[in-house]
């Protein structure tokens, strides 16, 4: 792709926009960055920054290429105003693909993407294959072509938002972890959300590899498929703490610090993808020794008076909440709630009945949760509180020796926090200050 002397507008001044602008600038483009925020910082003097951008700004702007940051909805009038005056519109992932020359393992799914991305990164680097986590986790993908020595493999976590704006993007391996309802505040239907996810397969051929959870419906694929599951027949299965393949034990999960069936599946998916690049099971087994999950993902904060406090703030949808409930082996006092995203929490009631002794809810969605969980209130009582600190205080009183206080919200945090990281950090700090 030749960008020399082309006029590029990058829409969005966050980290993805900064990386995209830097790459376009290196390729000789004339670069502008537009954002609706009041001020724009973090760009070189060669980049023209246009803050307080509006629909009118877009209508008055023309460019050879419009690069859209993933957090911006392409269906808004704001974006359409720019797109109408652009010769081509792509996303930051597509721009990175056009200049990155290494192999790509694309990791997608509703839940588990970040842990699986870290696992792929760890396994490959341990085995002498340079790898870099990027995309929706780690650095923006467009930073990789700018590195003095770009890695041989990109462990690329891709969200539905990022996949909306791909065109030629063609990974060598795709990991499809799972699919369930999420982001219903952005997509009009569940089918629309899934269609965005399925775009990851658009350009695959029979020379590519796909790693997929057994039972997932992704349509017809020409690529070579490997399956994994802790529940159904698959190429990779779980038996007594070991991952099996072809009837042979290959990875001992006890050498890691991962907990729960969902993390066992993440390991299966990561190894299957790395195996397609030549990594042997014994070497992957050694690479995983001592591996701990990322922060905010079923993170054990502390044990106090025999009660475990688990930070699962990354659980921003119901599939993640159910996975967290399924992963625990002690009675649960659940803390849930946050932003209203249009999710139906009644789906998790059967799991709550079998795992949970009480529920504490807070946030924008708390009133709805009280109503939703009312049918099980006789056996699993629900209490509404105003803040996360109130929730932790209440949970510490309700929980008995041998219980788990599980903070797994089941929705996003933007009603009260800047993101799940701030929310999880707040949980950790409050728990660590309990006496």
- Of 139-148, 201-210, 287-296, 367-376, least confident by mean pLDDT is 287-296
- CB distance 341 to 387 below 8 Å: no
pLDDT category at 329 given cuts 50, 70, 90 is confident
Tell me how far apart the terminal alpha carbons of the chain are, to the nearest angstrom. 60
Please report the beta strands in 270-348, taking only residues with DSSP state E, as ranges in sequence order.
299-304, 307-311, 332-336
Q: Which of 87-101, 178-192, 269-283 has the lowest mean pLDDT?
A: 178-192
Instruction: Rounding to the nearest 10 degrees, give the CA dihedral for residues 55, 59, 63, 69.
Output: 10
The closest of 30, 26, 28 to 48, measured between CA atoms, is: 30
How distant, in Å, are the alpha carbons of 17, 27, 69, 286 from that of 5?
Answer: 19, 9, 22, 49
Q: At what angle do helices 261-275 and 113-126 cross, to 10 degrees?
A: 40
Cα(221)–Cα(218) distance, rounded to whole angstroms?
Answer: 8
State pLDDT tens for residues 267-318: 999 999 999 999 999 999 999 999 987 788 888 899 999 999 999 999 998 8
- Rounded Cα distance between 92 and 312, Å, is 29
Helix (H, G, I), strand (E, B) or coil at 28: coil
Mean pLDDT of the chain: 93
Contact 66, 82 (CB under 8 A): yes
Give the gyration radius of the chain's Cα atoms: 23
């Amino acid at each position: 792709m030749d960008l020399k002397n082309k006029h590029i507008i990058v829409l969005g001044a966050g980290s993805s926009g900064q990386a995209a602008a830097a790459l376009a600038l290196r390729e000789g483009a004339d670069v502008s960055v537009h954002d609706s925020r009041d001020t724009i910082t973090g760009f070189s003097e060669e980049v023209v920054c246009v803050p307080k951008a509006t629909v009118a700004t877009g209508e008055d702007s023309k460019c050879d290429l419009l690069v859209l940051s993933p957090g911006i909805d392409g269906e808004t009038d704001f974006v359409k105003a720019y797109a109408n005056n652009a010769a081509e519109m792509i996303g930051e992932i597509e721009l990175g693909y056009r200049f990155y020359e290494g192999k790509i393992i694309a990791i997608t799914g509703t839940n588990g993407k970040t842990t699986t991305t870290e696992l792929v990164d760890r396994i490959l680097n341990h085995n002498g294959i340079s790898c870099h986590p990027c995309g929706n986790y780690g650095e923006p993908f467009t930073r990789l072509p700018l590195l003095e020595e770009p890695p041989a493999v990109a462990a690329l976590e891709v969200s539905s938002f990022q996949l909306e704006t791909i065109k030629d993007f063609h990974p060598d391996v795709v990991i499809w972890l799972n699919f369930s309802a999420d982001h219903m505040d952005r997509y009009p239907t569940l089918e629309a959300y899934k269609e965005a996810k399925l775009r990851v397969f658009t350009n695959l051929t029979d020379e590519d590899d796909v790693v997929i959870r057994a039972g997932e419906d992704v349509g017809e694929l020409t690529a070579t498929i490997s399956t994994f599951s802790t529940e159904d027949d698959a190429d990779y299965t779980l038996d007594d703490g070991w991952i099996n393949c072809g009837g042979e034990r290959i990875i001992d999960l006890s050498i890691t610090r991962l907990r729960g069936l969902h993390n066992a599946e993440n390991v299966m998916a990561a190894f299957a993808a790395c195996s397609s690049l030549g990594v042997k099971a014994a070497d992957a087994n050694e690479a995983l020794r001592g591996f701990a999950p990322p922060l905010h993902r079923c993170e054990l904060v502390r044990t106090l008076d025999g009660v475990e406090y688990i930070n699962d703030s990354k659980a921003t949808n119901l599939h993640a909440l159910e996975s967290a409930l399924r992963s625990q082996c002690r009675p649960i006092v659940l803390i849930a709630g946050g932003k209203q995203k249009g999710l139906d929490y009644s789906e998790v009631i059967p799991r709550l009945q079998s795992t949970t002794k009480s529920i504490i809810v807070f946030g924008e969605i708390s009133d709805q949760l009280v109503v939703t969980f009312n049918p099980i209130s006789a056996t699993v009582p629900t209490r509404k509180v105003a803040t996360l600190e109130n929730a932790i205080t209440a949970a510490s009183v309700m929980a008995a020796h041998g219980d788990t206080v599980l903070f797994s919200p089941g929705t996003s945090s933007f009603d009260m926090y800047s993101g799940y990281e701030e929310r999880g950090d707040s949980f950790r700090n409050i728990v660590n200050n309990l006496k």
